[in-house]
Chains A and B, each alone.
Chain A
Amino acid sequence: MIRRLPHVDRVGIEERAATLGKRSIKTTAKQQGIRLAVSMLDLTTLEGADTPGKVRHLCSKAVCPAPDMPEIPSCAAVCVYPAMAGVAASALAGTGVKTAAVATGFPSGQVSLDVKLRETEDAVQMGADEIDMVISREAFLAGDDARVQEEIVRVREACGDAHLKVILETAELGSYDHIRHASMLSMEAGAEFIKTSTGKASSGATPGVCLVMLEAIRDYAHRTGRQVGFKAAGGVSTSKAALHRLVLVKETLGDAWLTPDLLRIGASSVLNDLLMQYAKTETGRYGRSEDFSKE
């Protein structure tokens, strides 16, 4: 089967994404937007140096990001490596914050399908509510769309009741045409969410990349009636960037997607910037890093 790539005009889409970045989000809209963004965070730690202690601190922060600002909601999830899934699940039990585990040889995906499935099953068994898998870029770049999809279908089965997010690793795909194509492949194979990046590559959820994927989600929903979620990961490190992504979603998919069930932001450092900006809207003061806990 010879692949047929869809057409995405890069100059046009980047212009649109940039224009949407000029929306002025002030006062009450800024406050609401920040609270919404916090509620959608998958607070993430994916380091070789992660330990149970570190993960527990992060979970605590995700459940209650700002004790002195009780109107700030919990984050959506905590995202960790499979080895830490059990620790996270225990720490988060009963809080409503989900445990997300990366799996399938994250971030490169350069392991056998059997290993990917086994890793997924282990993570789910240890308490992961959500699995963030990586597509096989090796298969994708070779043009083997069938294999890309087959892996997603198999991992989805291995997830059982856990939800599956499919990471495209957009920086490695080559062009917006490829990103839209990979988005469609993933949705057709059963992804509950499609996600931009692992956060470990040279670039992540740039505005243009996000818009490409959001348009794909919109068209897929229109065609099939199924609403797939979107997760922006990588490069969303400031409140301004987070709010820009919310604008992109609002003006492409509409308000229906502005819920943690369909929209996530994968990040770590952005949380304190969101809290700092929120505090500024209340107090009028520009803040400092000591104003909020570092986990």
Chain B
Amino acid sequence: MSERLAVRKTYKLWIGGAFVRSESGRHDRAGDFNIPRASRKDVRDAVAAARKAFGPWSARTAYNRGQILYRAAEALESRASDLGEPREVEQAIDVLLHYAGWTDKIAPVLGGVNPVAAPFLSFSLPEPTGVVGVIAPDAPPLLGLVAEIAPALAAGNTVVAILSDTAPLGGLDLAEALGVSDVPGGVVNLLSGRRSELAPALGAHRDLNAIVDASGDADLGAELDRLASETIKRTRHGAAATTYDEAVADALSRLESVTELKTAWHPIGA
């Protein structure tokens, strides 16, 4: 009885809800696997997809976004053994759940009514900033990535993330799990490749609203800040979350960094 030959995995980029090879055709090795080496054009395509998805995603009710993120957690839970080291995966799922529960709570916590000294109803509402670029940390590969993208999604943004170039598989597996959830195409876009090439390309893209950098690389951070200044992008630099507690302890700061506050005034008086 001969051994059964396995069907090998092909990893792809996840852009606009589709699994695609890099337009450049290049690849890298990650362990036993060939993985795509994304290019600047892939970054361009990902940002376009994220921008297109932003309108519908942000127009959904907060409740609906929470439901979708909850179901994404279901998708991860049922594929937990594919996603990496069990303790890390469990925590990543719980982080996603934590932020799924934030969607309809950001407004009461960050927003409010302003008691202005004139006969107006004035209120301030947090709104998503738009398309958020994420530079994922090297470790932990899955938890660190989820900690950076979940807050952005919960707040109603769409995301383009550059995966760690030393440990991309967690992110590529995450793409596959999310691909069978209800997350609409283009809301999350995950690219593997060389961070040194892709992060500046993302940071320079004029149609990006914010950059969340967890690379831990100070020089890259400074370069991203300089690039951000061209279009006044919002930036956040932070150390990678290595545990569930670290990923949620500063939840409000993470959410604030990807929201705008809109203040409206309306007269009170017939």
Direct contact of A and B (CB under 8 A): no
